[in-house]
Each structure stands twice: as structure tokens, then as C-alpha cells.
Amino acid sequence: MELTQLEYFLTVARMEHLTKAAEHLSVTQPALSHSISKLETELGVPLFERKGRKLHINRYGTMFAKRVETILREVERGKQEIEQSADPNAGVIYLSYLNILGVDLIPHLIRQYQEANPRITFNLSQGDKGTILEQTERGDSDVMITSERPEEESYTWVPIVSMPLYLVVSSAHPFAARKSIRLKEITGEPFVGLKHNCSLRDSLLARVHHTNFTLASTYDAEDLATVAGFVSAGLGVSVLPRTAGLELEGLRWIGIEDEGWVWEVGLQYPKNRFLSKAAQKFVEYVEDKFK
């Protein structure tokens, strides 16, 4: 059963005349007659009483027409919703982002974008790196903003900001008065790390390996805010970006002298995925704003 068949049936049901209905639909009378007969065969009942080219809808046809009207009305509404959602000036952008970015970067970015595009709305989802990647791969989100460059070439990466990473210690730690440090000096210090679902973890481990020092991991936290809390309580040291939501009382931020210790944040989306015009326009805005 196809939508075209349903549209043809409803037109014939309203006009009760094959020739007039065929002219209205711009199809041949034999083609229309064949479509109606095929529909009746599929349903297993006649929908009309026939008298030449004039038809009278019967009780089965009347029952079916009510449902078909609802179906076609909902399809039309769906088409309208999609058109409105995809409108580059008034559509909906589905955006996923890391939890920590919801404290500062995301709200400011959205506010600035909506000031220039007041009819645009955002459907927002947040989570750890695994959650937002799944949402994007499923197509629940158009784009995601994360802090880990894609390993696969099937994703596009648009840089947004690059922040220096700091060694963080409690105010009571012997390093607390230091302005800068080489990370090999923290070898053996209790280290508050991150679980696998946090995007900063893998890049930290790669840098640790490259810098050739050893971490004495004591705790593995779920997110950056928890790391900051553990360090502030004196339970170890860690490495964090100095961003909103992490500057807790009792923390000391020490510059890292080793090269390459930065935290990158960017927009990411699958290259071969359809992007609505609204999402495309947002990507272009981010590219231009942060180039």
C-alpha cells in the first residue's frame, strides 16, 4: 500500500466519479481504475459500488476513508515540521556537548548565535564523550562539541578553542606556591585520574607517555568537576584546563613547562551524514567565529 494509492482513493471517494477524479489528479482513467482495484484486492473488500464510470462509496470505503484522511493529514503535518526544522533561519539544531562545557562555552555560544538568528532553536543533550558520540552516530544530534579530535577520517573537526592545561594541587600541597613546573617532578605523587568515559583521559595518557614520567593513580573520577573536588580536598594532584566550573576554593593552578599540554575543544560531525540547512548554517558560523 502506497501513499499515492491512498491519495487516489480519497479523491475518488470525494468525487465518486472516475473520469473527473482522473482529470483532477492528472492521471489516466485506466491507471486510476487499476490503482483502486489493486487497493481493494489488498484490503480484501470492495470500497465502491460501481455503475459505469460513476462510483458510490460503500460502508467499507467510508470506514477506510476516515482513517486515510487521518493518515494523509499526519503525513502533511510531518512534512511541514521537517520543512520548519530544516529552515536555516527558523529551524532546530540538535546539539550534543560535554557536561563541563555546559557551564560556560555552550550557553555563551548559543546566546551569541541566537542574537544573530533569533528564530533558531536548539535541542540540547549533554553527557560524557561516549554518550554524545552515540547520540551523534545514531543521528539524534546533528553535531557535537567535544574535546577530543576524531580518530576516524569519516568525521569533520572544526576547532573552537585551545586552552592550556595546568597542574592542580590543593592549597596545602608543597607545590602550592609554585608558578610553573615540569611534570616529571610529580612522579610518585598521588594522582586523581579520569575514567575511560571522559574525553581528557586518553589525551592525558598519551602526553604522559610522551613526556616519560609515571603517574601514581589514586582515584579515577567520572568527570572534571569531580577531579577538581578531590584535588581541592587534598586527595591528590591532577591536570585540568582552567575553565568555568573547575575553579574551586582551595585549588592552586600551576603552569606546565612541558610543551604541548593544551586542551582542545571543537565541533565534530560525520562527513557523510545529511545536515539540515539550519545545522549547516551553525557549522559555518562556528568555523567563521573561531578561525
Q: Are residues 172 and 252 in the same domain?
A: yes
Last residue of a domain, one of 86, 117, 139: 86
**Per-residue DSSP letters for 67-114?**
HHHHHHHHHHHHHHHHHHHH-TTT-EEEEEEEGGGGTTHHHHHHHHHH
Grid cell, residue 201, equals 583521559
Q: Are residues 130 and 271 in the same domain?
A: yes
Q: Are residues 106 and 234 in the same domain?
A: no
Q: How far apart are CA 253 and CA 201, in angstroms?
A: 19
Q: Are residues 217 and 257 in the same domain?
A: yes
Query: At 23, which helix (H) or strand (E)?
Result: helix 18-25
What is the count of structural domains for the chain? 3
Identity of the amino acid at 20: K
Dihedral of the CA atoms 237, 239, 243, 244 (nearest 10)? -30
Angle 201-230-212 (CA atoms, 0-180°, nearest 5)?
Answer: 40
pLDDT on residue 106: 96
CATH number at residue 226: 3.40.190.10
Last residue of a domain, one of 23, 57, 86: 86
Q: Are residues 175 and 257 in the same domain?
A: yes
- Give the residue among 47, 117, 137 at the shortest CA–CA distance from 278: 117
pLDDT average, residue stretch 135-149: 91
CATH number at residue 7: 1.10.10.10
Q: Are residues 129 and 187 in the same domain?
A: no
Last residue of a domain, one of 86, 108, 142: 86
In sequence order, the 6+-apart residues with CB closer than 8 A to the CB of 89 are 117, 119, 120, 278, 281
pLDDT in tens, 213-231: 666 778 888 888 999 999 9
The owner of cell 583521559 is 201
Q: Are residues 218 and 197 in the same domain?
A: yes
| DSSP helix/strand/coil, 240 | strand
Domain span at residue 233? 163-264
pLDDT on residue 291: 83
Q: How far apart are CA 178 and CA 255, in angstroms?
A: 8
Q: Are residues 153 and 170 in the same domain?
A: no
DSSP state of 237: B
Q: Are residues 152 and 269 in the same domain?
A: yes
pLDDT in tens, 71-112: 998 888 888 778 777 788 888 899 999 998 999 999 999 999
Q: Are residues 146 and 222 in the same domain?
A: no
Grid cell, residue 290, equals 573561531
pLDDT category, 210, cuts 50, 70, 90?
low
Which residue pairs from 211-216 have beta carbons closer than 8 angstroms and sit at least 24 positions apart in sequence?
211/183, 211/184, 211/258, 212/184, 213/183, 213/184, 213/186, 213/187, 214/187, 214/188, 215/191, 216/187, 216/188, 216/189, 216/190, 216/191
Grid cell, residue 92, equals 532546530
Residue 157 reports pLDDT greater than 90: yes
What pTM was computed for the model? 0.71
pLDDT on residue 88: 85
Average pLDDT over the chain reads 89
- Give the residue among 89, 92, 18 at the shortest CA–CA distance from 56: 18
Q: Are residues 114 and 232 in the same domain?
A: no
Q: Are residues 252 and 271 in the same domain?
A: no
pLDDT on residue 94: 93
pLDDT category, 51, cuts 50, 70, 90?
confident
pLDDT category, 27, cuts 50, 70, 90?
very high
Q: How far apart are CA 142 and CA 92, in angstroms?
A: 10
